[in-house]
């Protein structure tokens, strides 16, 4: 392709030189009389004379110009309007010539929010474990029917924080007259004993175990007396939606049911709205030197995540002229925070996303088409996901560890000066998996599995119409309109991770998203392109990620 480009440039140079030389052949030498000023031969009475040729005569002191011809590119009589331009020629000697290159290969605007919402279903039980002083309130100490009250204050107080309920048992084995373990009622909200972990958590029972004067957790022999220590262990359970049991990790199998019960606790996956990218956003198959900003406002994002504002900062640099470029992208979003508290209102945060590098090369370039291909790599920079209880105890943590590999190919064709049609095919493969940790028994969170993102495939089609073309001296030099159709689908069933009563999964096994985007490109001052637009979903249910997306893109070309 490199050799073909050089041959094309040489051919254009030869054509221009030949055209220039042809024009010069019709110019008379400097100082020679023009044919319009020639006089008729003078007739004398003497013998007839041979008429003098118009170019015969004494030699001129000014020599004729026999050098290479000079071509005036702004000769309006010969070439038309000097300010006009043809926007169909792809063979540019300067890939940064905005006016020619952008109108010939305009960008696709895109539609993607960059991530999907995960769900957590089943139930979670969090435990309280404290040491308190016990006092016999009624009945004979050590008998099954006795009632014991506990003081959980470290500073001493009345035994009114927690109370036993029901009949006691002897766990240590020294006889029924030395009962050492009782069931307990839920601590009162005004007591010194820690209570519920927050809204949605219900008391799940507990026990009080006599440990004597020590600080252990197992029952000891002997008859308890007032003021001695008891170990209190009680829990609170929250229903996260749906149900599930077993243990496993996989795509629709492996120890339990598959994903997508429809009644999950929404959980932001690592880097929600800033995790995965679509290369189609602000994409052109041509290679260019540019800086750009993409702003997107997503209204009413799925999973009750509210509105999301996202900015993508990017740059593209040409490595080999008209052939290869490298592009970098970094998304930042005001979105559902990566750390949330179960049962409380959502927390919003400014989240930095996964960075991407995109290598693009021109495979074939013609007078009215460009075919390009490349590879994108996404690096995990976004924060880990964390779901916590109101006391800040962690319930779930998903670590952002996955790299993404994104091969793509795109073709642009111009059937006329005013129209451009292009398509982009992209795949997104997860190279690795995210570690999932869950609170299934209190204490340090154990790893319950590895979650792998589904492979995605997308097809983006755009048609662009040039509505206005001005002169090179105009501030607004061009106005183009875009109509785009975007399809995004999973290529496999969703993965899930399950352990005991907890299942972490996508909100749907599969999705097929179809969005429509309408927008415009305004070209200013030969180096700045402003592109506003709006995107709307054409499907509903889990295939509808937002109500609408308002977007503005700004490109600055060097």
Q: What are the pLDDT digits (tens) for 72-118?
A: 433 434 334 434 444 444 544 343 345 456 788 899 999 887 766 77
Convert 289-303 to b/e letters by CB count within 10 Å (16 or more is b): ebebebebbbeebbb
Q: Give me the mean pLDDT over the 230-259 stretch.
A: 62
- Give 410 or 88, the one with higher predicted confidence: 410
pTM above 0.75, yes or no: no
Weakest-pLDDT range from 72-76, 403-407, 464-468:
72-76
CB atoms within 10 A of CB 312: 23
**pLDDT level of residue 443 (50, 70, 90 thresholds):** low
CB atoms within 10 A of CB 304: 10
In this predicted structure, what is the pLDDT of residue 126?
86
For the ranges 14-28, 240-254, 414-428, the maximum mean pLDDT occurs at 414-428
Say what percent of the chain tops pLDDT 90: 48
Q: Give me the mean pLDDT over the 252-280 stretch.
A: 63
Convert 513-544 to b/e letters by CB count within 10 Å (16 or more is b): bebebebebebeebbebebbbebebeeeebbb
What are the CB-based long-range contacts (under 8 Å, 24+) for 148-153?
Answer: 148/182, 148/208, 148/224, 148/230, 150/184, 150/193, 150/208, 150/230, 150/232, 151/192, 152/187, 152/191, 152/192, 152/193, 152/232, 153/192
pLDDT of 315 > 90? The answer is yes
pLDDT of 294 > 60? The answer is yes
Q: Give me the mean pLDDT over the 170-184 stretch.
A: 88
| DSSP state letter for 381 | -
349 close to 332: Cβ distance less than 8 angstroms: no
**pLDDT level of residue 16 (50, 70, 90 thresholds):** very low
pLDDT of 60 > 90? The answer is no
What is the domain class of 98-116+269-557 according to CATH?
mainly beta
Q: How far is it, in rounded angstroms, from Cα 480 to Cα 465?
A: 6
Say what percent of the chain tops pLDDT 70: 75
**pLDDT level of residue 29 (50, 70, 90 thresholds):** very low
pLDDT of 54 > 80? The answer is no
pLDDT of 258 > 70? The answer is no
In this predicted structure, what is the pLDDT of residue 106?
94
* Cα angle value 256/257/260 (rounded, 5°): 140
Give the CB-side neighbour count of residue 197, counting CA atoms within 13 A: 27
**pLDDT level of residue 217 (50, 70, 90 thresholds):** very high
pLDDT of 193 > 70? The answer is yes
The β-bridge relationship of strands 502-506 and 117-138 is antiparallel
Q: What are the pLDDT digits (tens) for 125-174?
A: 888 899 999 999 999 999 999 999 999 987 677 888 999 999 999 999 88
Nearest to 210 by CA among 280, 291, 155, 134: 134
Q: How far is it, in rounded angstroms, from Cα 533 to Cα 297?
A: 11
Weakest-pLDDT range from 82-91, 181-190, 406-415:
82-91
Nearest to 203 by CA among 188, 218, 181: 188
**pLDDT level of residue 262 (50, 70, 90 thresholds):** very low
**pLDDT level of residue 432 (50, 70, 90 thresholds):** very high
82 close to 91: Cβ distance less than 8 angstroms: no
In this predicted structure, what is the pLDDT of residue 263?
58
| 128 to 193, 237, 254, 424: CA distances (angstroms) | 9, 11, 32, 55
In total, the chain counts a number of residues equal to 558
Average pLDDT, the chain: 80
| Spans of all domains in the chain | 98-116+269-557, 124-240
In this predicted structure, what is the pLDDT of residue 27?
42
In this predicted structure, what is the pLDDT of residue 77?
42
Weakest-pLDDT range from 111-125, 420-434, 452-466, 514-528:
111-125
In this predicted structure, what is the pLDDT of residue 507?
77
In this predicted structure, what is the pLDDT of residue 273?
66
434-438, strands of its sheet edge to edge: 339-341, 385-388, 394-398, 434-438, 447-451
Q: Give me the mean pLDDT over the 208-212 stretch.
A: 95
pLDDT of 18 > 70? The answer is no
- Give 190 or 3, the one with higher predicted confidence: 190
In this predicted structure, what is the pLDDT of residue 420?
96
128 close to 235: Cβ distance less than 8 angstroms: yes
How far does CA 345 lie from the centroid of its chain? 24
Burial of 394 (0-12, 13-18, 19+ CB in 10 A): middle
| 295 to 88, 112, 187, 458, 510: CA distances (angstroms) | 29, 12, 51, 21, 28
Phi, psi of 98 (to 5 degrees): -55, -50
Q: Give me the mean pLDDT over the 355-364 stretch.
A: 97
Q: What are the pLDDT digits (tens) for 477-523?
A: 999 999 999 999 999 998 999 888 888 888 778 889 999 999 999 99
In this predicted structure, what is the pLDDT of residue 176?
66
């Amino acid at each position: 392709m490199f050799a073909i480009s050089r041959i094309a440039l040489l051919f254009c140079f030869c054509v221009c030189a030949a055209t220039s030389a042809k024009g010069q052949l019709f110019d008379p030498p400097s100082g020679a009389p023009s044919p319009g000023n020639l006089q008729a031969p003078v007739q004398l009475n003497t013998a007839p004379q041979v008429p003098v040729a118009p170019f015969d005569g004494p030699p001129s002191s000014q020599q004729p110009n026999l050098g290479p011809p000079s071509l005036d590119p702004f000769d309006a009589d010969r070439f038309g309007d000097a300010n006009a331009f043809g926007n169909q020629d792809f063979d540019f000697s300067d890939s940064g010539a905005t006016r020619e290159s952008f109108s010939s290969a305009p960008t696709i605007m895109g539609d993607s929010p960059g991530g999907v919402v995960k769900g957590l279903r089943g139930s979670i039980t969090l435990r309280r474990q404290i040491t308190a002083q016990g006092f016999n309130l009624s009945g004979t100490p050590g008998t099954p029917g006795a009632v014991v009250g506990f003081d959980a204050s470290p500073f001493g107080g009345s035994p009114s924080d927690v109370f036993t309920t029901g009949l006691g048992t002897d766990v240590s084995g020294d006889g029924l007259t030395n009962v050492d373990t009782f069931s307990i009622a839920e601590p009162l909200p005004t007591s010194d004993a820690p209570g519920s972990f927050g809204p949605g958590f219900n008391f799940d029972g507990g026990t009080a175990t006599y440990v004597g004067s020590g600080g252990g957790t197992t029952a000891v022999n002997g008859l308890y007396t007032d003021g001695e220590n008891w170990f209190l262990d009680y829990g609170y359970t929250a229903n996260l939606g749906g149900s599930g049991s077993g243990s496993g990790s996989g795509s629709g199998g492996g120890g339990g049911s598959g994903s997508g019960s429809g009644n999950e606790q929404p959980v932001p996956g690592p880097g929600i709205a800033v995790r995965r990218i679509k290369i189609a956003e602000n994409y052109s198959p041509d290679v260019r030197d540019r800086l750009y900003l993409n702003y997107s406002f997503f209204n009413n994002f799925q999973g009750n995540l509210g509105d999301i504002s996202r900015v993508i900062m990017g740059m593209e640099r040409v490595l080999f002229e008209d052939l290869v470029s490298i592009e970098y992208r970094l998304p930042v979003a005001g979105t559902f925070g990566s750390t949330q508290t179960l049962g409380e209102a959502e927390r919003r945060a400014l989240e930095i996303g996964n960075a991407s590098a995109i290598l693009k090369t021109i495979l074939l370039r013609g007078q009215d088409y460009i075919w390009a291909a490349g590879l994108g790599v996404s690096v995990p920079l976004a924060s880990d996901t964390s779901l916590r209880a109101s006391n800040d105890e962690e319930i779930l943590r998903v670590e952002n560890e996955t790299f993404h590999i994104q091969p793509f190919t795109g073709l642009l064709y111009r059937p006329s000066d005013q129209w451009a049609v292009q398509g982009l095919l992209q795949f997104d493969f997860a190279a690795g998996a995210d570690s999932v940790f869950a609170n299934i028994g209190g204490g340090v969170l154990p790893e319950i599995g590895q979650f792998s993102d589904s492979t995605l495939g997308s097809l983006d089609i755009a048609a662009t119409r040039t509505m206005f073309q001005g002169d090179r001296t105009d501030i607004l030099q061009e106005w183009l309109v875009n109509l785009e159709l975007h399809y995004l689908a999973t290529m496999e069933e969703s993965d899930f991770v399950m352990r005991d009563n907890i299942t972490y999964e996508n909100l749907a096994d599969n999705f097929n998203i179809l969005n429509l985007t309408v927008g415009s490109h305004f070209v200013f001052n030969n180096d700045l392109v402003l592109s506003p637009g709006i995107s709307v979903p054409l499907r509903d249910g889990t295939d509808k990620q937002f109500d609408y997306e308002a977007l503005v893109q700004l490109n600055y070309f060097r």
